[in-house]
Structure 1
Amino acid sequence: MSYIDKDFYDNVYKGAPIADDNEFNRLAERASDMIDQITQYVLKNIEFDRLAQVLQDMVKKATCAQVEFLFENGESVIHDNGNLNNVSVGNFSYSTGNGGNSRISPAVYDYLKYSGLLYTGVHTHGG
């Protein structure tokens, strides 16, 4: 299940133009899967349409950001483990910067950081 459709991507998020509908749909599915991964699949147990509109919008915009990231950087980033920091061979050197997770657009985290969906702690109920 994709969290977005092309109309939302084009007209609300106003992402980089993706002319091919099939390519967009493929990227939207992959991006939605990646959103599920970083939110530990919490959205799979919730009826998405029943979430508060602000949370729906956060998830949709995060998904759009990831679609745009995949479109602009190529789908091969999906298989990048993000651990490569620096490689040197003779006089050649290559660095990836801070060694962060290069599979996920930084904008995804910006959209989701106040949603509570990235929480990895243990929920407790007082009694």
Structure 2
Amino acid sequence: MIYATEQDYKDFTGQTAPSNFARLADKVSKIVDRLTLNRIDQDDNNHIEAAKKAVCAQIEFELSIDDNLANMDNVSSFTVGSFSMNFGGDGQTFKKLCQEAYTYLFDQGLLYRGVSS
């Protein structure tokens, strides 16, 4: 399920959605589903609102970094002068979620990994 529309993005950021919004919203919604273990209850307005805000925040974040870093998953090593980076390609999308998006999901308990009674 895609959790945010172009209008949601505009309401959230005050900016017009980018031309590739549908692709980004689909990508980020899938990340949200994975991170929440598909526990977003479609009948819970708080869950839906948190997912929508998380998707909008993440898209805004990715656009602020020009979506370039998001495409560098397979980099295993990169060095320029004293700068070095190493993306192990471990598939941990959790590291890709910006802090604001993470907070929206966390505040609704959607990232909880403990035991329930």
TM-score bracket relative to the smaller structure: 0.7 to 0.9
The answer (yes or no) to whether the contact 2:13–2:60 under 8 Å persists in 1 is no
- Structure 1 runs (4+) greater than 6 angstroms displaced: none
The count of aligned residue pairs is 108
Amino acid at match of 1:61: K
**Distance change (3 Å), C-alpha of 1:110 and 1:79:** same
- How far 1:72 sits from its partner (Å)? 2.7
Question: Which residue among 34, 38, 42 is the counterpart of 2:39?
Answer: 42
- How far 1:41 sits from its partner (Å)? 1.8
Identical-pair percentage? 29
Alignment partners' CA distance in 1, 2:105 and 2:14:
18
For 1:39-95, what per-residue CA distance to the aligned partner results, in whole angstroms no more than 9, with x for missing partners?
Answer: 12222xx3x1x11x33322111011111112223316516538x98xx767x52236
Aligned to 1:3: 3
Instruction: Return the TM-score normalized by structure 1.
Output: 0.68
The answer (yes or no) to whether the contact 2:9–2:16 under 8 Å persists in 1 is no
- How far 1:33 sits from its partner (Å)? 0.5
Amino acid at match of 2:46: V
The answer (yes or no) to whether the contact 1:78–1:103 under 8 Å persists in 2 is no
Runs of at least 5 residues in structure 2 that lack an aligned partner in the other structure: 87-93
Alignment partners' CA distance in 1, 2:85 and 2:34:
26
**Distance change (3 Å), C-alpha of 1:14 and 1:63:** same
Give 1 or 2 for the bigger CA radius of gyration. Answer: 1
- How far 1:7 sits from its partner (Å)? 0.7
Superposed CA RMSD? 2.8
- Secondary structure at the aligned position of 1:113 is classed as helix
